[in-house]
């Protein structure tokens, strides 16, 4: 009886995108553990008998050790491996973005831990059992952000930052700065306390402070 959890036992293209799924999930704070990759017919029969596989699915297909096209996951948290549907929904979304079919979308036998490469559903279990395999899975590549996109993103971020309400702990210092003419705000009178301070603004503040100190 053979069943493996090694990503290295998957077909190379599937293994590469499996590792990418783990990395992208990690960025979102999702700790994912791969629980199974390939299995043989004996292990598949055992799963079917215990109800862990679809009824009648006694021969492995995408998980077959001659295919290496599927893997199963769980939440890497002892005692809560399978009881968090939101976790699986989020990982499922990432997997589908990479091109995998997600078992959580299946109607007859939902299998949330399961992911497989079937070329968008064009390859069936029967085809895999007959050793008719899908073409190589495209490698996921994140789109590079253009300078224009970055500039627009930063402009929006700075606008949102300027609109944020200052913290209460700075109230006394802010009142003092305004009363002494150190902080005047922009043309509309907005003080923008949560915005970044440029060198230009720092120079003006230092000049105003020096004038205040000398009583000018």
Per-domain boundaries in the chain: 7-129, 147-213
Pairwise CA distance, residues 4 & 71, whole Å: 10
Pairwise CA distance, residues 68 & 70, whole Å: 6
50 φ, ψ (degrees, to nearest 5): -90, 0
pTM of the model: 0.64
- pLDDT by residue (tens digit) across 176-198? 988 888 888 787 778 888 888 88
Q: Does residue 96 carry a pLDDT above 60?
A: yes
CATH topology of domain 7-129: Muramoyl-pentapeptide Carboxypeptidase; domain 2 (3.30.1380)
- pLDDT by residue (tens digit) across 199-208? 998 898 889 8
Q: Does residue 10 carry a pLDDT above 90?
A: yes
Contact 37, 10 (CB under 8 A): yes
- pLDDT by residue (tens digit) across 102-120? 999 999 889 999 999 999 9
DSSP states of 26-78: HHTT--EEEEES-B-HHHHHHHHHTTSS-TT--S-STTBTTT--EEEEEESST
Mean pLDDT, range 6-22, rounded to an integer: 97
- b/e burial code for range 133-155 (CB count within 10 A of at least 16 → b): bbeebeeeeeeeeeeeeeeeeee
Q: Does residue 69 carry a pLDDT above 90?
A: yes
Give every CB contact of residue 159 below 8 A, 6+ residues apart in sequence: none
């Amino acid at each position: 009886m053979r069943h493996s959890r090694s990503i290295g036992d998957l077909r190379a293209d599937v293994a590469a995108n499996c590792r990418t799924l783990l990395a992208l999930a990690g960025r979102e704070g999702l700790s994912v553990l791969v629980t199974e990759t390939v299995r043989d017919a004996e292990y598949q029969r055992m799963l079917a008998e215990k109800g862990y596989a679809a009824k009648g699915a006694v021969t492995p297909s995408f998980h077959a050790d001659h295919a290496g096209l599927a893997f199963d996951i769980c939440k890497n948290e002892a005692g809560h491996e399978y009881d968090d549907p939101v976790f699986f929904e989020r990982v499922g979304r990432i997997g589908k973005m990479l091109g995998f079919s997600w078992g959580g979308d299946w109607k007859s036998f939902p299998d949330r831990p399961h992911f497989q490469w079937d070329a968008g559903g064009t390859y069936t279990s029967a085809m895999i059992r007959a050793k008719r395999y899908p073409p190589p899975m495209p490698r996921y590549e994140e789109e590079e952000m253009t300078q224009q996109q970055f500039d627009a993103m930063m402009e929006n971020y700075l606008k949102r930052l300027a609109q944020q309400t200052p913290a209460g702990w700075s109230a006394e210092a802010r009142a003092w700065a305004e009363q002494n003419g150190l902080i005047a705000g922009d043309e509309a009178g907005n003080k923008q306390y949560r915005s970044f301070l440029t060198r230009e603004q720092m120079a003006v503040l230092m000049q105003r402070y020096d004038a205040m100190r000398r009583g000018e």
